[in-house]
Amino acid sequence: MSFVDIHPEEVTSTIVSDPDWWRGAVIYQIYPRSFQDSNGDGIGDLSGIVDRLPHVASLNVDAIWISPFFTSPMLDYGYDVSDYCDVDPMFGRIGDFDRLIERAHQLGIRVIIDLVLSHTSDLHPWFVESRVSRDNAKSDWYVWAEAKPDGTPPNNWLSIFGGSAWEWDTSRMQYYMHNFLREQPDLNFHNMDVQNALLDVARFWLERGVDGFRLDTVNFYVHDKELRDNPALADDRKNSDIAPSVNPYTWQDHQFSKSQPENIEFLKKLRKVMDEFNDITSVGEVGDDQKGIQIQGEYTQGSDRLHMCYGFDFLGAPYPSGHRIAEVLNKFDENAKDGWACWAYSNHDVERHTSRWNLSEDAQKAYLALILSIRGSACLYQGEELGLPEADVAFEDLQDPYGKKFWPKFKGRDGCRTPMVWNSNAENGGFSSAKPWLPVSDAHAARSADSQEGDSSSMLNFYRRMIAYRQAQEPLIKGTMQIVAQEEGFFAVIRETKSSRMFVASNLSDSQRAVSFPEGRWNVDSKAPFDVNQNGERVELPGWQVLFAHEGG
């Protein structure tokens, strides 16, 4: 049955209680502005997500992560929140979100929402009050500091979006800190009232039925109270996965502006709130080039912090050769022995991996199988299942302030945020009847969901088969992992539970290669999505094919 044929009365899936459901889960990220417009204003909305949930359900994923839909002036497209506890009118109303939760759960899909706790919009009532004077009730809710005697900012901290991380405010005659846009002032986590207010925000959405949180810039919450200068980086260390090379942000070792040890105490408080509810999860975004995996380990250690974290190890430019994959996984294992990772190739902040690594369709399929075969959970970004490349957005159509700042060396994030393409013959790809907020890419139209629906070899149908296969294999979901081979164009692991073992070998090249099984008796799984023929103890594995084998009969 195709996803276009699914009707509500035919849906029988429901959420089954499982506090450990997030381990090995496959999560589908939805960028709401670009998923589906239901009211003809050119901007995606919550009702549009509801309309397209059958498509998501057809992918066999466990959960969706929805990027911010809160009230916002939209200078950073929802990541500048002016009201944490309401829906921005462009996305609908709070009742639309309740309907989304109900429909998703009816389809067996859990709902994770994006919480942006490190900063707010400068239009948030908290900041509006804070900037009025130095002695009001919220005067210390943001990071304020005196100017140096010469009038310059209090230290050398930089904004990821360019320039100083400090903005002068004429009302208080002080600087306030902003790690991102100047309209996104950072909250002061050294103030316990701030922490308690944010915990109340989390509780508000948990009471509405969400199944967890994706925590934006989770290592940015706490700053160094002494406001010490960040040291410079040596030239050979100025490589960054979280900022473009043309941004001098990459020239600093951000020892004091983020990733402070006090952050862990707040995460413990947040976990305690989440534990008041059943089957909740959390995934933190860790942006730190120097010690990202170490921080992921610290934040997911034990059972009183975050459930899982992700960094930019597979979201950056370095090509994921077998050596690179092993390096990242081994480093995570060393730093987070009892932690849990959530791996991703693409999201709303980076160039789509299809273009970033120049992958053929066969290569895309092989890398999907790989990310679903390594230990951890996996996050897939909308349109990835269609094989969408990065869209080319002209400067005059650009919306992203980050791209406008560093154009043309860095074109920003709009190329991965263009609207989904649902129908090849419909206006704007079936996304909207009006002019979309970003143009629909001509290169995407041929890859629309409806054009791939009836093709058994399409990327869309491969994603469905591969995810369904992963969901049926307990070792791939929660098993231990042993890396048994790593080469430039080859990677192999053994995944194991108490009752079963699987051998997974990924040919990450165009050339055929002979693969020998580990010691024991192994049989290639004929139900796996790849057509691999076994010949005794060896397999001639074609280029960009992945072998799945079970030990035993």
Question: Which residues touch 358 (CB under 8 Å, ≥6 apart)?
Answer: none
Neighbouring residues of 196: CB distance < 8 A, sequence distance ≥ 6: none
How far is the CA of 123 from the CAs of 72, 75, 149, in angstroms? 8, 11, 29
- Secondary element (H or E) of residue 451: helix 449-453
Burial of 151 (0-12, 13-18, 19+ CB in 10 A): exposed
The two tokens of residue 528 are 């796996």
275: annotated active-site residue: no
Sequence-separated (6 or more) residues with CB below 8 Å from residue 531: 545
Q: How many angstroms separate the CA atoms of 347 and 358, rounded?
A: 16
Catalytic-labelled residue, pool 45, 80, 183, 216: 216
The three state secondary structure string of 56-107 is HHHCCCCEEEECCCEECCCCCCCCCCCEEEEECCCCCCHHHHHHHHHHHHHC
Task: Please state the three-class secondary structure of 497-544 as a single string.
Answer: CCCCEEEEEEECCCCCEEEECCCCCEEECCCCCCCCCEECCEEEECCC
Q: Is 406 helix (H, G, I), strand (E, B) or coil?
A: helix
- List the catalytic residue out of 18, 275, 276, 427: 276
Contact 258/118 with Cβ under 8 angstroms?
Answer: no
Please count the helices (runs of H) and the strands (runs of E) in the chain: 14, 21
> Does 216 participate in catalysis according to the annotation?
yes
Residues whose CB is less than 8 angstroms from the CB of residue 346 and which lie 6 or more positions away in sequence, other chains included: 315, 352, 353, 354, 380, 381, 384, 416
DSSP 465: H
* H-helix or E-strand spanning residue 50: helix 46-58
Region of residue 47 (phi > 0: left; psi between -120 and 50: alpha; otherwise: beta): alpha
Q: Which residue type is seen at 1?
A: M
Per-position DSSP letters for 339-403, written without gaps between them: --BEEES--TTS--HHHHTT--HHHHHHHHHHHTTSSSEEEEETTGGGTPPPP---GGG---HHH
Q: Which residues are catalytic?
A: 216, 276
